[in-house]
Amino acid sequence: MEKLTFSIVINAPKEKVWDTMLGADTYKKWTAVFMPGSYFEGDWSQGSKILFLAPDGKGNKSGMVSRIKENRLHEFISIEHLGFVENGKEDTTSEAVQSWAGNLENYTLLEKDGSTKVLVELDTDEERKEMFDSTWNDALNILKSITEDKTPS
């Protein structure tokens, strides 16, 4: 596994960045870069199971099964990925899942002078690295735009 790091400075207090990043409606906007129609089911409280989903075009849910490993309000959230959702069914035990389970996706928010640096660190494999390299900066720019109440360009 490889650890990737992405960051952006958003001209807003960390509370607003946090709420925009994790709010149900705004989450859909900035994560559409990864998969159109992206959304989550569950909540962001520590220890909670959360599903990151998108429609698969056949009327089924597809995505990831995860849990919130750590949540320090407005400062840090760690997501541990546990498996996949395919055709609406959760898979946390197959061999394909076991090679990927336990990967972390961490978000750190650091506020200074009314602006917030969002630092994203995530574990990935070679298969997903290129996709993440080409999409994460776009996603963060959309998050910045909607948090600062600007229309993404």
78: CATH: 3.30.530.20
Instruction: Give domain status of residue 47, yes or no.
Output: yes
Number of domains in the chain: 1
d(CA 46, CA 73): 10
* Whole-number pLDDT of residue 149: 83
81 with 99: CB under 8 angstroms?
Answer: no
Instruction: Give domain status of residue 152, yes or no.
Output: no
Instruction: Give domain status of residue 129, yes or no.
Output: yes
**Residue 67 in this model has a pLDDT that exceeds 60:** yes
The residue among 133, 138, 131 whose CA lies nearest residue 153 is 138
For residue range 10-62, what is the model confidence (pLDDT) as tens digits? 999 999 999 999 999 999 999 999 989 999 999 999 999 999 999 877 777 89
Instruction: Give domain status of residue 34, yes or no.
Output: yes
pLDDT above 70 covers a percentage of the chain that reads 97
> Confidence class of residue 150 from pLDDT cuts 50, 70 and 90?
low
Contacts of 96 (CB under 8 A, 6+ apart): 84
d(CA 49, CA 26): 20
> Confidence class of residue 128 from pLDDT cuts 50, 70 and 90?
confident
pTM, two decimal places: 0.91
Instruction: Give domain status of residue 153, yes or no.
Output: no
Instruction: Give domain status of residue 39, yes or no.
Output: yes
Structural domain range at position 48:
2-147
Question: What is the rounded average pLDDT for all residues in the chain?
Answer: 92
